[in-house]
Amino acid sequence: MVGRAHKPTALASTPGLPPQPQVTFSDDNSRVTAVLPTGESLEVLLYGATVISWKDGAGDEKLWLSDAAKLDGTKAVRGGIPLVFPVFGTAPDHAQTSKLPQHGFARTSRWEFLGKSTSESESAGGAKAAASSSSSKATAAAADQSVKLDFGLSSANLDDKTRALWPFAFSLIYGVTLNRDSLTTSLVVTNDDDKPFDCQVLLHTYLRVEDISNVSITGLDGASYVDKVDGAKTKTQSSGAVQITGETDRVYTPAAAPSAPVVVVEGGRAGFSVTRDSLGDVVVWNPWADKAAAMADFAPADGFRRMVCVEAGSVADFQTLEPGDAFEGAQTIAIGSRAAAA
């Protein structure tokens, strides 16, 4: 075909419709990036389906990632949101998971990207319908958009060594949804085997803070917790906020429902609000100076001052899934005005 001298250029978007979220792959297909039209972004490493970056519209990072984190698939990522499954920590006395490494294998397996989906709020839908008559309404629709990325892992994806350590047929679907002022992560575990299996699930979230000495955590009043720094003693959280003043490793079972927020407050202002769905436990962790120094992939040395882990999970006990059963758990981390409102 003969080229046209004045051929029209390709359109960046459909006339009358708002800009759409963009999803791209890295050149080596090792990670997926999603960006909303309003600037918020998300980056997920396919190794472990680990969220390694979450930025607001101003480009400010919300997750802490170690400067020494391995992002080449050779080791679980230190920082971001690693996935813990099917065991939290190690469980030498639990027959099914006793042979598994620390935190299981989900965070050290290569996941498949299953696709993306986008959505708008009800008000945005109305704006979209009227976008041809008003560019401002199209802009409003873009502002209300979200994007969801889905990832999958099954027993068929595991290597022979891992399958030998945990010989059950299963499938995992992990969804990561980016909104303007929140991030939601959800995990569905399905037993595809002909026998029951036990499992634990944890979303090991590293939140970025400016100074841990100015941080407090509310929403855990009256909660029973296991203090892993103090010989795994069972204690009860007194009234008042949790302060981080040294090595902290606690598994809380909040007295309030999962929908009640656990709020990370810094300098008197709510920075993050974590709500849960079907995840009964909250792990609060900070390694502090000595333990951080002992971890080769933790950097900089004083990085513990700029992070706190608030981890939604089901880890106080094991979930038993019968053949064909499924378990679903999720967390939503809100920031800014939404965190304050919670």
Indicate the annotated binding residues for substrate. Answer: 78, 102, 107
- Cross-strand bridge partners of residue 115: 150
The sign of the CA dihedral 257, 259, 262, 263 is: negative
CA angle 321, 202, 317 (to 5 degrees): 50
Q: Which two tokens stand for residue 72?
A: 């080449």
- Helix ranges (DSSP H) in the chain: 122-129, 135-143, 160-165, 288-293, 337-341
Which residue in the list 40, 43, 120, 311 is annotated as catalytic? Answer: 311
233 Cβ neighbours under 8 A, 6+ residues apart: 226, 227
Give the residue numbers of the binding site: 78, 102, 107
311 part of the active site: yes
Asked if 138 and 124 touch (Cβ cutoff 8 Å), the reply is no
Which residue in the list 122, 204, 247, 322 is annotated as catalytic? Answer: 204
Cα distance between residue 276 and residue 311, in whole Å? 10
Of 65, 83, 55, 282, which Cα lies nearest the Cα of 174?
Answer: 83
Residues carrying an active site annotation: 204, 311
